[in-house]
Amino acid sequence: MEEALLEALDRALAARGFKTRNEWFRAQVRQVLEEETDRKRLSQLLDRLAMEGVTEEDVLHMVKGWRARKSRR
């Protein structure tokens, strides 16, 4: 049963362009690390905004304004 699962995994990985399970695994780890870095960067930005006196309501107002301008285009 395990052998069949590994063969199915290998076929799926090959279909996605990966040559080996190791290559796929490294790509997955890289993606998780990049997402974590993005989360930390966003968290730092939000912390900085909070320190500068920008409230969550201010951010929501800005986002709604951006969306309204974008939808008019």
The Cα–Cα gap between 49 and 43 comes to 10
- Which residue reads 């800005």 in tokens? 62
Domain total of the chain: 1
The pLDDT score that the predictor gives to residue 24 is: 95
Range of the domain at 32: 2-72
Q: What is the pLDDT along the chain (73 residues), one digit of tens a residue?
A: 799 999 999 999 999 999 999 999 999 999 999 999 999 998 888 888 777 777 788 888 888 999 988 887 6
The pLDDT score that the predictor gives to residue 62 is: 87
The Cα–Cα gap between 51 and 45 comes to 10
Residues 6+ apart with CB under 8 A from 25: none
Q: Is 27 exposed, middle or buried (0-12, 13-18, 19+ CB in 10 A)?
A: middle
